[in-house]
A and B are shown apart, each in its own frame.
Chain A
Amino acid sequence: MTNALSILFCLTLMYLAVTTRLSSYVLILVFEGILVAGVYTVSFFEHFSATHLVIAGAVLLFRTILIPSYMVKIIRDLDMGHRDRTHRYHPGFLLQISGLIMVALLLSYQFSHMTPVLVIPLGTALAGIFSGGLLIVRRRLLLAHVVGFLIIENGLFLLGVGLKAEMPWVIELGAFLDLFVLVFLMGIAMNHLKSHFPEGAGEDLTTLRD
C-alpha cells in the first residue's frame, strides 16, 4: 500500500518536471499532501494512536487547504496569471528528475543492505528531497522556490516513514515548518514584494552580491 502511494508520489514529481504552470504546481502540492497523509496513516496503521490522527489531520489541513489557497491568492495579487510560465523551460528537466528518482531508488536499495528500511518509500523520499532542491535551482520564480521547499518537506515526511523511525515527535515536528512557511516566506515576504518590486514581482532577488 505504502509502496503504491510512494510510486504515485514519484509520478507527481514527473509531472512537476514537465509542467511549468504555477497553478499546476499548486495542484501537485494538494495531491502530494493527500498522498503523504495517506502514506503516514497507512504506515502506522497497525499500532494507530490519536497523535497520528492529529498529525495526519494537521498535514491535510495545511498542505491541501491553507497553503494552496494562499498561494492562489498570491498568484492573483501579484497578477502572475498572465505570465505564469516560469522562464527557461527546458525538456532536460524531465530527464534529470527521472534520473534522480532512479538514483534515489537505487541508493535506498543499496541502503537496505546495511539497515532495515522500506526501499520504495525511502527512495521516494530521497527523490522528493532532491527534486525539490532541483526545482528551486532550476526555476526563477520565488513562488516556485516555495513549492520546491514544500516538496522537500513532503520528502522529509516520507523519509520518516521509509526509515521506520517510530520516534515520538521527530517527523511530526515537520508540521511546524508548514506554519513557518505559511507565516513568513509567504505572509511577510510575498506581501512586501508587491510594494518593493512594482514590476517583475516574484522574480528571484540577486542584487546583493560581491
Chain B
Amino acid sequence: MIGFFILGLIIHVAAMALPAVQRHDGQLNRAVNLLNTVALVLGLIFSVHSLLTFQLWDTRFPLPFVGTIHLACDGITLFFLFTFQLLSVAGSVYAIGYLEHYVKGGVNIRWHLVSFTLLILSLQLILVVQHALVFLTAWELMAVSAYFSIVLEKDKPEVRRGGFWYFVATHASALFLYLFFVVLHDRTGSWDFADIAGQSGWDSGTLALLLVSGFLGFAIKAGFMPFHSWLPNAHPAAPAHISGLLSAINIKVGIYGIMRMFMFFPTGPEIFGWTLLAAALISAIGGVWYALAQHEIKRLLAYHSVENVGIIGLGLAMAWLGRCLGAPSLVALGLAGALLHTLNHAIFKALLFFGAGNVYLETHTGEIDKLGGLAKTLPVTGVGFLIGAVSICGLPPFNGFISEFLIYKSFFQGGNLMGGLVPLVLLVSAVGLAFVGGLAVACFTKLYGIVFLGEKRLKLPEQPGHEAVSSYPVLLGLATLCVWIGFAPGVVLSLVAPAISQISGIPTAQLGGELIAPLGGLTPVFALLLAMTLLILGIKVWTQKRVGVRLLETWGCGYQSVTARMQYTASGFAEELIQLGQPMLGLKLRWKPIAQVLPEPRMFKSHCFDQIEEGLWVRLNRTIGRVLMLLRWIQSGNIRHYVLYIFAALIVYLIIAFVW
C-alpha cells in the first residue's frame, strides 16, 4: 500500500520537472495538474486504506549527521494526510480551469505550477517526517513554495504586499520552531519525534519554554489571534485555488503541530489547556466579528478561517484538559470535534474559496457591495456556495453541525467532570460558541444574500457565465461531501478513530460504541427532516398547480421606480452589529452631511480596519523602524567620526575589562 504513496510522490516530482520540457502553457497547466491529481488519488488510496484497516506504517533509514531519518504514518499523520490529499485533489482539478484564464491573459504560470506542486508535495512530506531537521526543512519548503504560489500576479503591489505578510509570518513561526526543536534536542539528545515523545519528567522551566515556543510557532501558522493578520492579507492576494488550499490545509499544519505537542508532552500542565481555550475563544469570536465587517469576499472568508481555527482550538483545549483530568472519554470527544472540524472546515472553506474564485472570474471584482444576483448567472456556484455557507455556520444537517455538536458535548461533559467554577467557565465558552454561530449566520446571510441573491448592483460585461467547467465536479463534489458527512458522520468518524485512540488511549472498538454510534443515530432524524420538507414541498407544488402561480414585480410598498441600487447593501446589513463591536473593531465612517435644503451629490463610506493588525503589527513594524533610525547616524560618511568610534570602542572595551 505504501507503494501507492511513494509512487504518488515520485509523480509529483515528475510534474515539477514538466515545465522544463513542455513549452505550451495551456497544455502544461493541464498536464501538471492532472499529474498531481493522479498522484494525490494514489496517495488517497493509501491513506484511506490504512486508516480503515488501521495499518500504521513506520520505517527508518540511516543517514550520517542527521542520524536515522524516521518516516512514520501514525493515526494523526494518516488523518491529516487524508485531509490534505483530498483537498489537494480538489485544488488541482479546480486549478486547471482557473489558471486557464491566466494563460489566456498571458501571465507566466510556469513558476507558479512548480511552486504549487512543491507546496502539495512538501505539505505531505511534513506529515510523514518524524525527524526534526527534515521536518523543519519540509516546513520551510512549504513556506517558500506557498509564498511563490501566492504571488502569481506579482505585478500588482497589493499582491506583493499580501504575500509578504505570509512570508514574514511563516518565517517568524519557523524561528520559534527552531528554538522549540533545539531545546528538545538539547534535553533529549535526539531529533527523532519518537524519542522525544518517549521522554518524560521535564523540569517545569524547560516545559514552559517548550510549550510557549512550540505553541507560538504553530499558532502563528494556524492563525490564532493575534497572529492571524497574515491570513486576511495573504488570501485576497493569492489566486483562488491557492487561497482555498491555504485555508483548507496550509494553516492546518499548525493544528497538526499542536497535535504533535500532545504526543510530546503526555503530562502537560493544565494551565496550557486553559491558555489554549482562551486563545481559541478569542480567535473564534474575534475572527467572525471581523469577518462580518469585511467588504471583500476573500478577506471575509480568511477571517472565517481564523474563527474556525478557534473552534478547532476549543476542541483541542478540551482534549488537553481531559488528559489532565485523566478522563479519556473527554479527550476523545474534544479530539473528535477538533479533528472532524479540521476536515469539515477544509472541505467547506475550499468550497467557498473556489466559489469566490468563480465569482471573481465572472465579475473581476471581490467587492461584495458591487455584486448581486449571481445565483442566476452562476447556478452551480450558487448552489455550491449556499451549501458551503450553511455548513460553515454549523447548521444541521450539514457537516459543520456534527463537529460543533461534539465540541458542545465536550464542554458539558467537562463541566460535569470538574468542580468549582470550572463548569461556569465551560458554560461561558459554550455560550461563546453559540454567539459565534449567531454571528456566522449573520455574516453568511449577508455574504450569500448580497452576492448571489437579489438583483445585479453593477453593470457587468454581458457575457455567458465564466464558471470554469472543471470547477463543477469540484464544487459539487465538495458540496456532496458536506451533506454526506452531515447525514452519515459514522464513516468519517471511523477515519478519525485511529488518531483519537492514539492520544486518548481508548481502543478503536470502544470508540465505535461511545462516539460514533450516537452520531450515527442522527441520520434518521435528518432523514425525517428531509422527508417532512419534501412532503410539505410536494403538497405546496400540488396546491400551487391547482390555484396557479403569478410572477410580478417586488412589492415596493407603493414606491414605483425601484432600482437595483436601492437594495440593502452588505455594509448596511452588518452595520449595527459592527457598531456593537466597537471599539474592538476599528470602524471608520466618512460621509457628507446634508447641508442645503436642495438635494446635492452625497457620499457615504464605511471602512473597517483590523485593530490588531493596525494597532499591533503595523505599529510594531513602525516602532522597530523608528528605534533603528535612532542609530542611523553611525554611517555618517565622515572619517573623523570613524576614528572617534575606534577610540570610543577601545575605551569602552577597556572599561569592560577593568571596571566591570
Contact = CB atoms under 8 A, between A and B. Distances in A.
Contacts of B643: 133, 136-137
Contacts of B644: 133, 137
Determine the main DSSP class of B at the interface with A.
helix
Interface in A135-185: 136-140, 145
Determine the main DSSP class of A at the interface with B.
loop
B647 A130 contact: yes
Interface residues of B, number: 12
B601 interface: no
Given A130-B647, A133-B647, A210-B632, A140 B637 contact: no
A73 B632 CA distance: 40
Contacts of A204: 638-640
Contact of A208 (B637, B640, B641, B647): B637
Nearest to B636: A209
A136 B640 contact: yes
Contact of B637 (A130, A133, A145, A207): A207
A139 B640 CA distance: 8
A210 B632 CA distance: 8
Nearest to B639: A204
A140 B643 CA distance: 13
A203 to B, nearest CB: 11
A133 B632 CA distance: 24
Nearest to A140: B640
B506 to A, nearest CB: 63
Contacts of A145: 639-640
Contacts of B637: 206-210
B635 interface: yes
Nearest to B644: A137
Nearest to B641: A137
Contacts of A138: 640
Contacts of B636: 206, 209
A1 interface: no
Nearest to A210: B635
Contact of A205 (B632, B635, B639): B639
Contact of B635 (A130, A207, A209): A209
B644 to A, nearest CB: 5
B633 to A, nearest CB: 10
A160 to B, nearest CB: 18
Interface string B619-657: 000000000000010011111110110110000000000
Contacts of B635: 209-210
Nearest to A149: B643
Given A145-B640, A204-B639, 10 more contacts: A133-B647, A136-B640, A137-B640, A137-B641, A137-B644, A137-B647, A206-B638, A208-B637, A210-B632, A210-B637
18 contacts: A130-B647, A133-B646, A133-B647, A137-B641, A137-B644, A137-B647, A138-B640, A139-B640, A145-B639, A145-B640, A204-B638, A204-B639, A204-B640, A205-B639, A206-B637, A206-B639, A210-B632, A210-B635
Interface of A: 130, 133, 136-140, 145, 204-210
